[in-house]
Structure 1
Amino acid sequence: MTAERRRGGSGHGIIGRVTTPPSVHDVLVVGAGQAGLGTAWWLTRTGVRDVVVVDAAEVGGSWLRRWESLQLFTPRRFSSLPGVPFPDGPTPTPDRVEMAEYLHGYARRLDVELRTRTPVTRLTPDPVGFRAETPDGPVRARQVVLATGPFARPRVPPAGAQLAGSVAQLHSADYCRPTDLPEGPVLVVGGGNSAAQLAVELAATHPVTVVAPREPRFLPERVLGVSVYWWLLLSGVLNAGADSRVARGVRRRGDAIIGRDLARLRDDGTIRWLTGRVAGAEGDRVRLDDGRTEQVSAVLWCTGFEPDTGWIDVPGALDAEGAPRHDRGASPVPGLHWMGLPWQTRVNSSIIDGVDRDARRTTRRIRRGLGRA
């Protein structure tokens, strides 16, 4: 019997096909973000029916936890998952709420068992494939897709622990609005797009200094009235292979900052820019790697994230540093697959537009594995 139901409260929610679960599932997808949902779509599209997707949070929840003014740079056309175009809206690019709503609606279209608020606390080998421990009991599966993404745990340099308690500190993952930081100067640490957006927002209410490891490289949002993403697509940059000369050049130069708002405020002196790395701190002073020090009253760490892989207890799945071992998403462990990693197969593998091709590739591997089984 097939039904659709959602269970609230402190338990997990289930959206989609609900049946008496077999003792072993064909595929377990860990992560209900863009990579996990896109993979689930291709799996069911190609005839793999016994798919379970689990996530520690609600679908779209990670977008709703981002800062309130967040607006994507990617046009709606480049914000779509397989099979479902992103809906039109009042702006050329979606905001965080639209993104969360799109993912939630996408999940409802999938003919899979989706368990939200169900973290996997440990993944181990099993005679049939793998065993995932969850608060609601174990889930066994022949094939597993790890799609929790590269942005699981905020990264803060050791200097954060060395600053005096009187210095207010936030990571960009915890920042919502300018009033989250006290009045007075703010040091924004980081040279990516998050740092650029938040520095511009904070500059309206705070004196802002940005510390970044290199001089910024700016790309306009639009060229000749057309989004820069279309030019990147037409020129072949977005879909360039991860090992291509184009991709190596992109990685060598580092991420470009989309838009010129930061450049304008830097040029007119509204925002100070310091090139260097944070090497340490003492009291209320941050020390850079060239010996300079900056007195701070508040710091916003836009220093990125790192994968949280401590729950993966599968020999051969991780390297000595705990990073995924893979070849274009294929783990050396048979039946284990990665999705949504930066540079997994192409330049755009870790953004929404890159999910489709990588999910198709992963699905083909899974079907071959199930066929052998």
Structure 2
Amino acid sequence: MLSTPDVLVIGAGQAGLGTAYHLHRLGVRDVLVLEARGIGQSWLERWDSLRLFTPRRYSTLPGLPFPPGPTPTPSREEMAGYLREYARRWGLRVRTGTPVRRLTRDGGGFCADTPAGPVRARHVVVASGAFRRPSVPAAARDLAVPQLHSADYRRPDDVPPGRVLVVGGGNSAAQLAVELAATHDVTVASAREPRYVPERALGVGLFDWLRLTRVLDADRDAWVSRRIRARGDAVVGRDLDRLRRRGVVRVLPHRVVSADGDRVGLSDGSVEEVASVLWCTGFAPDTGWVDVPGALDGDGAPRHDRGASPVPGLHWMGLPWQTRVNSGLVDGVDRDARRTAARVRRALSPAPGRQGRWLPPATWTRPSSPSRSPR
């Protein structure tokens, strides 16, 4: 048996590490974090030029400021390095290279099956990213041209020469369309006209505005949150819109409904002939390993109320819209992790007089440059 901690955290990304940090602050010491690969590896497996669209101070976990850098927003390498330093700085017990193959009920707790043996715990926090399986429309089956999901895209050389259809209306689609426009004939197809928001307005950054107006921290059930969800994600920055206005990139507000060989049918009845397709169409639930009755809905998505599962002892972290607008961002981890840790601490009912240890002020040691992800 690998271990029998009080609390098992599955996933050593920002959500898992932030939760482990707050558990420690509340005096819950017997915490084990399992990570399938390496800390920060999921960031390194994204495309080479990826930059977060959140500024550095909005890409910070509790207890450790994000270090300054040459650009306003962090790169994928910087984010991976920051997460490794975070785990080291706070002495979090993380076992890397230990994927959880199956999670089941075990008496009053849970059992996680791993290659190193079973791990039994009273409480489990699933923070591995419930939506990780690339999602593509059914029409993809009828394509006879090369196609790629954004999860597998690394650089423009991955896309064959000729016209590429970038499908999606979010920030990933916008960033990759702009990158590919330097080397390819790019057309973007999205279900609706992309909604662009400037990175700065009146000299104030977008995320500063969102915080000042309390939009960023709005409760998920607030009217502004419902409005945002109904309108869909906005594209941060106007790079794609500028290319569209110059005629460099075509942007079509129509969803993909069919495909036949090298022809893609759109919802307005038009047909696009393409040499390749890049799907930036998001992710579906990847929770098949969670074999706990009552934990998932009929589509395999987590059942929860603000991260609390109806299954006692099971908790979710890092879900989009878990409690607020920014729950799916690094900036939103602090409050959600604090809430989750407090719920776990109450349920554990530690012995009277057991107190949490207040940690010293955070200091930053610049991490060494992370190695690039294997291809």
Q: Fold conserved (TM > 0.5)?
A: yes
Q: What TM-score comes out, normalization by structure 2 length?
A: 0.91
Query: Residue 369 of structure 1: which of 326, 336, 347 is its match?
Result: 347
Aligned residues of 2:174 and 2:235 also touching (Cα < 8 A): yes
Q: How does 1:146-225 map to 2 (within 5 A)?
A: 146-164=126-144, 167-225=145-203
> Per-residue displacement from partner, 1:319-358 (whole Å, max 9, x unpaired)?
1111110000000001100000011000000100000000
CA distance in 2, matches of 1:110, 1:29: 15
Residue 290 of structure 1: which of 268, 286, 304 is its match?
268
AA at the equivalent of 1:110: W
Confirm or deny: 8 A CA contact 1:185 1:298 kept in the other structure.
yes
Aligned with 1:101 (options 48, 61, 81): 81
Give the aligned partner of residue 96 of structure 2: 116
Secondary structure, aligned partner of 1:209: strand
Counterpart code for 1:183 = P
1:41 match: 21
Does structure 2 conserve the Cα–Cα contact (< 8 Å) formed by 1:50 and 1:112?
Answer: no
User: Which residue identity lines up with residue 103 of structure 2 in the other structure?
Assistant: L
Alignment: residue pair count: 351
Cα distance change, pair 251–144 in 1 and its aligned pair in 2 (3 A): same
Deviations 1:39-59 (A, max 9, x none): 000011111010010011111
Unaligned runs of 5+ in 2: 352-375
1:354 aligns to 2:332 (yes or no): yes
| SS of match in other structure, 1:98 | helix
In structure 2, the partner of 1:137 is 117
Q: How do 1:322-361 and structure 2 match up within 5 A?
A: 322-361=300-339
Letter of the aligned partner of 2:301 in structure 1? A
Partner of 2:361: none
Q: State how far apart, in whole Å, the 1-side matches of 2:159 and 2:292 are.
A: 42
2:47 aligns to what?
A: 67
Q: Which amino acid aligns with 1:301?
A: W
Taking the aligned partners of 2:12 and 2:2, their CA distance within structure 1 comes to 19
Deviations 1:274-319, CA, capped at 9 Å, x for gaps: 1111112111111122322111111111011122100001111011
Correspondence for 2:258 among 262, 280, 285: 280
Q: Which amino acid aligns with 1:325?
A: R
Q: Distance in 2 between matches of 1:257 and 1:21?
A: 44
- 1:44, 1:111 within 8 Å by CA — same for their partners in 2? no
Distance 1:112 1:177 in 2: 34
Q: For the Cα contact (< 8 Å) 2:2–2:119, is it kept in 1? A: no
Structure 1 residue 226 corresponds to structure 2 residue 204: yes
CA pair 21-64 structure 1, distance change in 2 beyond 3 A: closer
Q: Secondary structure at the match of 2:179?
A: helix
- Tell me the equivalent position of 2:107: 127
Say if 2:249 is the partner of 1:263: no
Mind listing any 5+ residue stretches in structure 1 that lack a counterpart?
A: 1-19
Alpha-carbon spacing, 1:291–1:370, altered in 2? closer, same or farther (3 Å): same
1:227 to partner: Cα distance: 1.5
User: 1:139-197 CA deviation, whole Å, 9 max, x = no partner?
Assistant: 00000001011441111112222111xx1111111111111111111100000000001
**Contact 2:39–2:80 at 8 Å: present in 1 too?**
yes
Q: Note closer, same or farther for the CA distance 1:294–1:335 as it changes in structure 2 (3 Å cut).
A: same
CA displacement, residues 232-279 of structure 1 (integer Å, 9 cap, x when unaligned): 001000000000001001111111100011111111111111111111
How far does residue 372 in structure 1 lie from its aligned partner after superposition?
A: 7.7
**Superposed displacement of residue 93, structure 1:** 1.1
4, 14, 36: which one pairs with 1:56? 36
Residue pair 2:105, 2:292 contacting (<8 A) in 1 also? yes
SS in 2 for 1:348: helix
Partner of 2:359: none
- Across the aligned residues of Structure 1 and Structure 2, the Cα RMSD in angstroms comes to 1.4
Once the two structures are TM-superposed, the CA of residue 21 in structure 1 deviates from its matched residue by 6.5
Q: What is the DSSP-based 3-state SS (H/G/I as helix, E as strand, rest coil) of the residue aligned with 2:128?
A: coil
Of the three residues 82, 85, 89, the one matched with 2:65 is 85
The amino acid across from 1:286 in the alignment is V
Query: How far apart, CA to CA, are the structure 2 residues paired with 1:152 and 1:260?
Result: 27
The answer for the alignment partner of 1:3 in structure 2 is none
Partner of 1:320: 298
AA aligned to 2:85 is G
Q: Which has the higher contact order (CA 8 A, sep 6+)?
A: 2
Distance 1:365 1:172 in 2: 36
Whether contact under 8 Å (1:210, 1:272) holds in the other structure is: yes
- Does the residue aligned with 1:317 lie in a helix, a strand or coil? coil
Distance 1:25 1:304 in 2: 34
Give the secondary-structure state (helix, strand or coil) at the position aligned to 2:6: strand
Amino acid at match of 2:126: L
Q: Please, which moves more after superposition, 175-184 or 27-36?
A: 175-184
- Secondary structure at the aligned position of 1:53 is classed as strand
